[in-house]
Amino acid sequence: MARNKFDVDEELEEGFNASHLKRIFVYIKPYQKPIYITLFVILLANIAQMAGPYLTKIVIDQTIPNQDYTELFWIAVIFILSVVVTGLCMRYRIFSITVIGQDILKDMRTAIFSHLQKLPFSYFDSRPHGKILIRVVNYINMLSDLLSNGLINLISDILSVIVTLGFMFAIDPTLTLYSLALVPVLFLIVMIIKTAQRKAYQVLSNKTSNMNAYIHESIAGIKVTQSFAREEKNFEIFSDVSDAYRESWMKAVKIQFLLWPGVQNIAVMTTCLIYYVGIRGLGVDVSTGTLIAFVGYVGNFWNPVINIGNFYNALITATTYLERIFETLDVEPDIKDLPQAKIMQPIKGNVDFNQVYFRYEKGKDILKGTDFHVEAGESIALVGPTGAGKTTVINLLSRFYDVNDGEILIDGENIRDVTLHSLRSQMGVMLQDTFIFSGTIIENIRYGKLDATEEEVIQAAKIVRAHDFIKDLKDGYHTEVKERGSTLSAGQRQLISFARTLLANPRILILDEATSSIDTKTEVLLQEGLEKLLEGRTSFIIAHRISTIKNSSRIFYIDNGQVQEAGNHDELMAQKGYYYQLYQAQFDLLQAL
Ligand SMILES: Nc1ncnc2c1ncn2[C@@H]1O[C@H](COP(=O)(O)OP(=O)(O)OP(=O)(O)O)[C@@H](O)[C@H]1O
């Protein structure tokens, strides 16, 4: 997957096609019943509305010349009734359309959100998160009008056109044909601007996405920005991104608004044509009542036609958002259960990496035939230079990525052959960038084991020595923390996520720089608690501090995509190889301080 940046337009893998429209119906289908009821109400409103011009015609051509006051009274009553029915129906229609539209949008939003939860790390690596966010929030909202008013209005407008035409044909078929004379001109206008409009909206959606990505990145990196006093430069970048958005917006709107005056003019021209035909009598002999009724009907006819034109316009615009939404929904999670995947049995903890090759990007192998065997219950420390591939090893073990070649076995079972859930639910992974969610501390610790009791939470916190600082907080375990834990120190955040990892009672524990921000005194206490807990469990620990890993059963020195040295601390020290040099370097540094 090609990487994308905030100022690079995303290329569409597959453009819009008719099947996208069909797919919208998947979301509409569950709401068939309320839609049919609404349509029936709309039909009722149309018929009631259409009665107006027809009653006017009767009054002018028949009731007034005959001076029939009883008929006039009843026509007035029917007229008032038709207005009341129309009003009530319209009210129902607005309410019901809004509810149906919002329900459909909610379903789409939920579908895209739950799909995103299943996508692998590689999907999130490949684009700015702001560009993902915009699909779930903004693009779905952009469909709001189309799905709430647009779709039902379309059907209602089509019904309205049919009912109006029915009334018109019933009164005078020839005059009706004159009224339709300019419809082809409308189609022509719509067709001409269609392609330009679609392209303009595709550009607009890209520029919106770029701007969103930059805002998202800027907020996430605000502390770095301010500490480097880079606000001005960022402002310049934002101005450029924002200008590009503004330009694309102006262009798209200019094209879109070409349609409206065109349609308005055609409607006026049709009314003129009706008067002209009526006065000149071009092949038709129309009474004054018919002429007045027709002018009313022409209004009733062109309003929905204009709406249909606008719907088409909105549809073209919406397609640019739909193609992005469906593109996201169509991303196949490449890390997923095989059809014949088995349930991973309770893990004992034997781990094998057999000639594992892996790369994040083509042509740049990170692991080049990594090969090792770990016995159940061993604690393994991974050391090596920055960027050597230590995190990559544990990412592969948790199957966040799949190996390109070779295999990884746990208790002799290839991890590709078991279900992700049964595998990951038995592993406790604490990643380098600890993440704290907004909510209370207890909710954060319980994140991976929702049914854990308060006692279990406290027990886990005690083992990692987090209990002492948590109990001193204002509301103890029920203290609210902000997203990313900005009200906590880095060490406190690590202790909370440590407790979260332990609470899940994993069979294999993976700690990536889990104690890097914790003071050495707390770390020593934490190690004591951990040692008991780790008895009989396999663990992988990545740490740069030698004191953290010294007591591991074995230490793997990883470099150049392979395990270069393996053994316990004493063995490796005696070997006087890479690990020895690393130890000496840290020792010398400490001496120098
Ligand atoms: N998501 C990614 N996409 C592309 N390349 C990546 C990705 N993650 C890591 N890399 C690259 O893979 C290599 C190994 O990274 P890894 O994080 O495994 O190193 P590490 O040994 O854990 O380093 P450190 O000690 O700094 O944490 C690095 O060169 C890094 O640039």
Cβ–ligand 1 contact at 120 (below 6 Å)? no
Residue to mutate (ligand 1; options 366, 382, 394, 556; most atoms within 8 A of CB): 366
Cβ–ligand 1 contact at 395 (below 6 Å)? no
Tokens of 119: 């996508």
Cα–Cα distance, 78 to 54 (Å, whole number):
11
Rounded average pLDDT over 507-515: 86
Cβ–ligand 1 contact at 361 (below 6 Å)? yes
Burial 398-413 (b: 16+ CB within 10 A, else e): bbbbebeebebbbbeb
Tokens of 13: 């893998």
Residue with tokens 């009224």: 179
Rounded average pLDDT over 162-186: 85
What φ, ψ does residue 429 adopt, rounded to 5°? -115, 125
pLDDT for residue 188:
84
Atom number, ligand 1, closest to the C-alpha of residue 513:
27
Residue with tokens 């400490």: 590
Question: 445: helix, coil or strand?
Answer: helix
Mean pLDDT in the chain? 86
8-state DSSP, 386: T
Tokens of 1: 């997957």
ipTM of the complex: 0.97
Nearest CA to ligand 1 atom 28: 387
pLDDT band, residue 494 (cuts 50/70/90): confident
The residues pairing with 370 across neighbouring beta strands, listed in sequence order, are 356
* Shared fold status for 18-329 and 336-419+542-593: no
Within 8 A by CB and 6+ apart from 195, the residues are none
Cβ–ligand 1 contact at 390 (below 6 Å)? yes
Cα–Cα distance, 105 to 442 (Å, whole number):
33
Nearest CA to ligand 1 atom 24: 386
pLDDT, one tens digit per residue, over 142-162 is 887 777 777 777 877 888 888
Tell me how far the alpha carbon of residue 487 lies from the centroid of ligand 1, in angstroms.
29
Cα–Cα distance, 140 to 116 (Å, whole number):
14
What φ, ψ does residue 355 adopt, rounded to 5°? 45, 55
Tell me how far the alpha carbon of residue 286 lies from the centroid of ligand 1, in angstroms.
83
Q: Ranked by mean pLDDT, which of 35-39, 52-56, 490-494 comes out on top?
A: 35-39
The third-level CATH classification (topology) of the domain covering 336-419+542-593 is Rossmann fold (3.40.50)
Rounded average pLDDT over 352-378: 94
pLDDT, one tens digit per residue, over 388-426 is 999 999 999 999 999 999 999 999 999 999 999 999 999
pLDDT for residue 589:
66
Helix (H) or strand (E) holding 154: helix 151-171
Determine the residue type at 421.
H
Cβ–ligand 1 contact at 389 (below 6 Å)? yes
Whose CA is closest to 317, among 194, 143, 201? 201
pLDDT, one tens digit per residue, over 440-462 is 999 999 988 888 999 999 999 99
Helices (H) and strands (E) in the chain, counts: 25, 12
The CATH H-level (homologous superfamily) assignment of domain 18-329 is: ABC transporter type 1, transmembrane domain (1.20.1560.10)
Tell me how far the alpha carbon of residue 399 lies from the centroid of ligand 1, in angstroms.
16
Residue to mutate (ligand 1; options 122, 364, 392; most atoms within 8 A of CB): 392
Cβ–ligand 1 contact at 97 (below 6 Å)? no
Tell me how far the alpha carbon of residue 213 lies from the centroid of ligand 1, in angstroms.
23
Cα–Cα distance, 500 to 465 (Å, whole number):
13
Q: How far is CA 197 from CA 140, 319, 386, 451, 500, in A?
A: 20, 11, 50, 53, 51
Cβ–ligand 1 contact at 388 (below 6 Å)? yes
Tokens of 135: 């699909």
Nearest CA to ligand 1 atom 13: 387
Residue ranges covered by each domain of the chain: 18-329, 336-419+542-593
Nearest CA to ligand 1 atom 19: 387
